Structure formats: structure tokens, C-alpha cells
Chain A
Amino acid sequence: MADPRIYLVTGKGGVGKSTVAAALALRQARSSGASVLVEVEDGRAAVRALRGESKVRVMTVTHAAAMQNAITRLLHTRILAKAIVKQRSIARLLDTVPAIRELVVLEEVRAIAQEFPNASVVVDLPATGHAVDFLRVPAAAKRFLHSGPAAKMCDDILAQVLNPGSSAIFVVSTFETVVAQETRELCERLKNELGFPATSIVMNRAPKAVDPHALAQLTERAVHTPALRPIEEIARARAAACQEAENSRGILAGFAPVVTVPEYFADPSAADLVGELSW
């Protein structure tokens, strides 16, 4: 398969999803020349991770703008689209009816990919905790709409954004058991409900390995040297975390290749992580 055009980055909140998405965008910018990082509503985390790196174009998609753009594309006229979005009743309707937000965000992603045909498009999906619910909207909306321009829009999104042949889904996890279990569940649902299995799992903030020989020595010495005991405790905790990470790899095995990104003990930059994202 050729390199994917669109990378959909998902995962629970707090796993470092935005940083991984920024690193992925940077990696693609360096390897293929151009990349666009799409953030939804709030792009601060990604901008912080990029630390002013200019190779990546960051585009923040707001629901309001995405809505107007989608209607503009449907009607081929911006003036009418503006009028519709401003019409109070319609505005309220669009604000409340389920799934419209998800749909227009994905439509905006589609349009961005079309606008930058030579760039990789990396999408930092919102951390709603329901990535599958987000991504299954176009198919569900299509079933509901049957035909007409909006249904055609759903078809285009399915073909151009949610197509396993040209897009990739990266699921970000951490080493912790609970997070790995959730990630596993998410991967199962992606495969079964969306028919789009995860392309890759990123195990972020993996603990650094502790040399077992050094740990044994440390334990032995700590018996006689009280000053070493707190350090031994930290080393033990780290060894336990490594064990947990190993178990988590087992939990995630069989869904997608697991890429491990080590813990950085500070807010890492996209450039810090980019070297770790090799597969």
C-alpha cells in the first residue's frame, strides 16, 4: 500500500494524542515534503508541541466555520450558505441536531485533503471518548438521508476520508493496563462497527527499561545504605511499570503493530517524538 494520505489520530483524553499527532505531522512533513495538521476547535496543544516548527501547516477547524463551508460546497454559493447559517431557527437546529458537528468536521477534513493534494493530512480527532461514534456518523447519516446532496457528501467522506485504502487510523494509548484495555475495546469497535481496523497503535509514555542486574545490586546495597532506599523504591516502581507495559502489549497484540514512544518526563515536543515514530 502507498503511504496513506490521511492519518486519523484517536485515543482517550490525556494520553498525549495531540503531541503524537503533531509528531506524526512533522514526520510526514520531513519525509514527504508537506503536511497539514488538522485540529478541531482548539489547536493549542498541537501548536505547543510543534514549538514553532514551520514545516507543518496547522489548521484549526471550528464547527461554525466547517458548517458554513459544508453548506457552501453543497449549494455552490457562499452568500446563501451564510444566510442559512444565520437564519435563527436553522442555526438552532444545526446547533442541536445530533451528528451534524461530526459530519461537517469530517467534511472539512475531506476538503482540506482535496485542497492540499500533495500533503499528508493528520487529523487530531477530538477526545470525546467515543472515537467510533464520531467516525461512524457519515455511514449512519447516509442511511438516514438516502439520497440528495447531503447524502452525496456522506458518500464522498466515506470514500475520501474513511477509506482504509487511502487513510490510516492511529490509536494512541499509554502503558497502563486500564488504558490498554480501553484501547483494545476501541480497536475491536473500529474493526467490527466501522470496518476500518486500526493501522497502528502508539504506546505513548512507555517507561524506560531498568537493567535487572543493576536493580538487584541496588537492592543489595540499599540494605546497608539507607540513603539509597528511596532510589531503590523509584527503580522498583519503574521496573513494575515496565512489567505493566509488557502486559499491555499483550493486551493489544493482534490488533495492529504497536509503536512504543518512551516517557519524556516533561511536555515533549513533536520533534522529540518524531524519531520514535518509525515502523
Chain B
Amino acid sequence: MNTRLWIVVGGGGVGKTTTSAALGVTFAKQGRRSLVITVDPARRLADALGVQLGVEATRVQIGGVNLDARMPDSRRSVDHFVDWLWVDADARKRVRDNPMYRELGDALAGVHELVSLAVLERDVQSGMYDDVILDTAPSRHALELFDYPQKLIKMLDERTLRFMIGLARIAGAALEQRPDESRLFAWGKRRAGALVSHLVGETAIINIAALFVELEAARERWLALVQSVRTRLESRNTRYLVIAAPSGAALDDAAYLCSELTQRRSKPTALIINRTHPARDPWPQLDPADPLQDIVMSLQRDSERLGAQTQTAFERVRSFPNTGASVASLPAVAAVDPTQVLLALAEHLGAQSWLNPSAAR
């Protein structure tokens, strides 16, 4: 199976969602079946495509081609995840009723990305698409999807769990069904545990520990998920695009993302500088007494600043460590209609060789 997965990352406000949608349109124009998934709750994708999007794939017609798009509900995704993780209905209920989960479950950093990756596994494996494009959450958080599975596995490693269960015991909880692990607890750990339970209170510790017990019960499914996510992230059919814009902050984020991705053996395929402004042809010189002189001068000044900013961005990108990524730029499109912007960007993307179906990762 040769479905390509494109993971689009970049700082906030660089036009990631629009670029992702434009990528989908570009592939559709090449006759490829494409699906765009956004985890951005901002509905930018729906806006750009001019349709309502739901959790399930919606067929979208744009610029004479068809593509699919969908938008997982990030606030509900954690609940769906719980449903998936625990096969046993009683366990699901215990987890959902756990005060810790109820109050703080959706604050689980990184879990949204993890869930979206788990969910798109189905799309990638369905064979229904040639290209699946994942528009990730803005900013550097996108990379949490790499680290979170690992963190969870570490936390679920037996020792940590035993420690937690021990904590609950110290707090007075009688989790009878657990085998006696007291031998494993050194005095020091007990002291640390006693302190922690003093800090957060007995009830809280019991609730946390109960949640951990459930997590351990679902350990096999966790491991399978982590393994499949890791395989997917490192697959040769998975490609990474870093999006930037000509501003200092966006370029900082792009530099960070490029180097982090490279360290994670997931070199970006391309770095796209969005919203660039070309240097303009010579501006018409008006007579100083011309009534239009003011407005033309003012526009010229702004245009020159934007052009200079673009130049600076290109220079900055040249100083990035060489990752082997193609560097591409997309122009700022002045159209007010989001669909027009999308089609204009797709036009530019169509000319990029790294998007070619035969191009290697």
C-alpha cells in the first residue's frame, strides 16, 4: 500500500491549514484521491473549503476537482479515545466517572495529537486515499505527538505503576485485587510517597491510583497504539512539511521544527515560506505635486518593507542547518474569498517537484 501521509507543521498564523487544503487540491488535480484532516478547532479548513466539516470525511468539490476533508472534534476526542482504549464497558465507566479524569482529562497535553494520529491510521490503511494530509495543531506542540506515546509507556512501566499503587496504599486505599508489592518499596520511596500523598490529599491519590490501575489494565492496547504510531511516523511513506512565514517568530519556530524533526529521523521533505512578497517592478514616479503622490508613496513604502522582510526570510532560511529539505515559497494572495486563495496556492504548489508522485521522501 502506498498511501502517502503528509504531516504539516509550523508555528501559529503561518497559514498551515490553508496550505494543507491547497495541498489536497493540488493532489486532487493530479488525479490522486486525497483526504485533508485538520485538528485545528478554528474551522479554518471549513472556511477555506466553503463547507461544513464533520468528524467523518466529507466530499468537497473545489476548482473542478473532488477531495475529502474531515475535522476530528478535539474536545470529544479524548472521550472517544477512552472508548477505544478500554474494551470492557465497566472499565470505561470507571474511567469516565473517575474525578481526576472528569476534571482534568481533556487537559492531557499531547493526547489530542496522539488521538488524531490513531484515528488517521484507519484512513491511511483503508486504501481509499493516495494522499492523507494532516494539518497539526499550531506551534511547537505538534511535536508532542512524537514524545507523548513514549512518555506514556514510561509512565506505565511497571515500577511507576507499582509506585502509584503503593501511594494509594500509603494513603489508606485498599486495592485488594493487586498483588502485594511491598517488597519493592524501599523506605525512601515510601517517604517520598507519604509526602506526595500529604500534598495532594488522600482522596486525590486514591483517584489517581485508580486511574493508573485502569491504565495498566489497558496496557496491551497502549503498547499496540504506541507501536503503530511510531511505525507510521517513521514510515518512508510519511513526509513532513514545515510551514513558515516571513516573520522572526515564524522562522524561529520553523528552525526549531526542522532541527527537531531531523533529530527524530523524520527529515522534513520541504520547508515552505508562505505569504512572501516579491520585490515589485519599479514604481511609477509621480509628479511631487500630484494629488495621488501620498497614497502611492505610502503603498510603495509598505510594499518595500514587505519585500525586504521576504528577502530577510530567504537569507535566514539559507542559514538553517542543511536538512536536505526543498525550500519553496508561496506568495501572499490578496484575494478576500478564501476559496480563491486556496486555488491560487494550489496552482503554485502544482509546480513543485517534491510533490511529484514519483519523488522519494
- Count contacts on A: residues with CB < 8 A to the other chain: 71
Residue in contact with A234 in the complex, picked from B13, B157, B195, B299, CB distance below 8 Å: B299
Tell whether, in the assembled complex, residue A150 and residue B201 are in contact, meaning their CB atoms are under 8 Å apart.
Answer: yes
Given contacts A13-B139, A182-B42, A266-B309, contact A87 B252 (CB under 8 A): no
Given contacts A140-B104, A178-B42, A234-B299, contact A89 B309 (CB under 8 A): no
Tell whether, in the assembled complex, residue A92 and residue B155 are in contact, meaning their CB atoms are under 8 Å apart.
Answer: yes
* A87 CB contacts on chain B under 8 angstroms: 189, 192
Stretch from B60-68, B106-114, B116-124, B345-353 forming part of the interface with A:
B106-114
- Count contacts on B: residues with CB < 8 A to the other chain: 71
Residue in contact with B294 in the complex, picked from A12, A137, A174, A214, CB distance below 8 Å: A214
Given contacts A221-B292, A265-B309, contact A231 B284 (CB under 8 A): yes
* Min distance, Cβ B112 to any Cβ of chain A, angstroms: 9
* A235 CB contacts on chain B under 8 angstroms: 295, 299
Chain B: CB-nearest residue to A149 = B199
Tell whether, in the assembled complex, residue A265 and residue B292 are in contact, meaning their CB atoms are under 8 Å apart.
Answer: no
Tell whether, in the assembled complex, residue B151 and residue A15 are in contact, meaning their CB atoms are under 8 Å apart.
Answer: no
* A140 CB contacts on chain B under 8 angstroms: 103-104, 107
* Min distance, Cβ A117 to any Cβ of chain B, angstroms: 27
Chain A: CB-nearest residue to B250 = A14
Residue in contact with A265 in the complex, picked from B40, B164, B252, B302, CB distance below 8 Å: B302
Tell whether, in the assembled complex, residue B284 and residue A237 are in contact, meaning their CB atoms are under 8 Å apart.
Answer: no
Is A254 in contact with chain B by the CB < 8 A criterion?
A: no
CA gap between A45 and B12 in the complex, in Å: 13
CA gap between A129 and B139 in the complex, in Å: 9
Chain A: CB-nearest residue to B98 = A144
Stretch from B25-33, B89-97, B202-210 forming part of the interface with A:
B202-210
Interface centre among B103, B283, B298 (most CB of A within 10 A): B103
Residue in contact with B138 in the complex, picked from A13, A143, A181, A234, CB distance below 8 Å: A13
Residue in contact with A266 in the complex, picked from B107, B164, B189, B305, CB distance below 8 Å: B305
* B12 CB contacts on chain A under 8 angstroms: 12-15, 127, 129
Is B306 in contact with chain A by the CB < 8 A criterion?
A: yes
Is A227 in contact with chain B by the CB < 8 A criterion?
A: yes
CA gap between A90 and B152 in the complex, in Å: 13
Chain A: CB-nearest residue to B147 = A95
Q: Is the interface of B mostly helix, strand, loop or mixed?
A: helix
Contact bitstring A191-228, B, C-beta under 8 A = 1, else 0: 00000000000000000101100110110010001011
Is A55 in contact with chain B by the CB < 8 A criterion?
A: no
Tell whether, in the assembled complex, residue A240 and residue B155 are in contact, meaning their CB atoms are under 8 Å apart.
Answer: no
Tell whether, in the assembled complex, residue A89 and residue B295 are in contact, meaning their CB atoms are under 8 Å apart.
Answer: no
Tell whether, in the assembled complex, residue B104 and residue A144 are in contact, meaning their CB atoms are under 8 Å apart.
Answer: yes
CA gap between A80 and B309 in the complex, in Å: 51
Is A244 in contact with chain B by the CB < 8 A criterion?
A: yes
CA gap between A235 and B298 in the complex, in Å: 10
CA gap between A80 and B192 in the complex, in Å: 8
* Min distance, Cβ B358 to any Cβ of chain A, angstroms: 34
Tell whether, in the assembled complex, residue A178 and residue B43 are in contact, meaning their CB atoms are under 8 Å apart.
Answer: yes
* A95 CB contacts on chain B under 8 angstroms: 151, 154-155
Residue in contact with A98 in the complex, picked from B108, B157, B294, B296, CB distance below 8 Å: B108
A–B Cβ pairs within 8 angstroms, 26 of them: A13-B138, A14-B245, A87-B192, A89-B159, A92-B155, A93-B160, A97-B208, A98-B104, A98-B106, A99-B107, A128-B139, A128-B141, A129-B40, A129-B42, A143-B103, A144-B204, A146-B203, A148-B198, A148-B200, A178-B43, A214-B295, A217-B291, A217-B292, A238-B299, A240-B336, A267-B309
Q: Can you name 20 extra interface pairs (CB under 8 A) apart from A14-B11, A127-B12, A146-B203? A: A13-B11, A15-B13, A48-B248, A89-B159, A95-B154, A96-B155, A98-B105, A99-B104, A129-B137, A129-B138, A141-B104, A144-B99, A144-B204, A150-B204, A208-B302, A218-B292, A225-B284, A227-B284, A237-B336, A266-B308
For the complex of A and B, list the 8 residue pairs with the smallest distance between their C-beta atoms, beginning with the closest. Answer: A14-B13, A13-B12, A14-B12, A148-B201, A89-B163, A237-B334, A265-B305, A13-B138
Residues of B within 8 A of A (CB): 11-14, 40-44, 47, 99-100, 103-109, 137-141, 151-152, 154-155, 157, 159-160, 163-164, 189, 192, 195-196, 198-201, 203-204, 207-208, 245, 247-250, 252, 280-281, 283-284, 291-292, 294-296, 298-300, 302-303, 305-306, 308-309, 334, 336
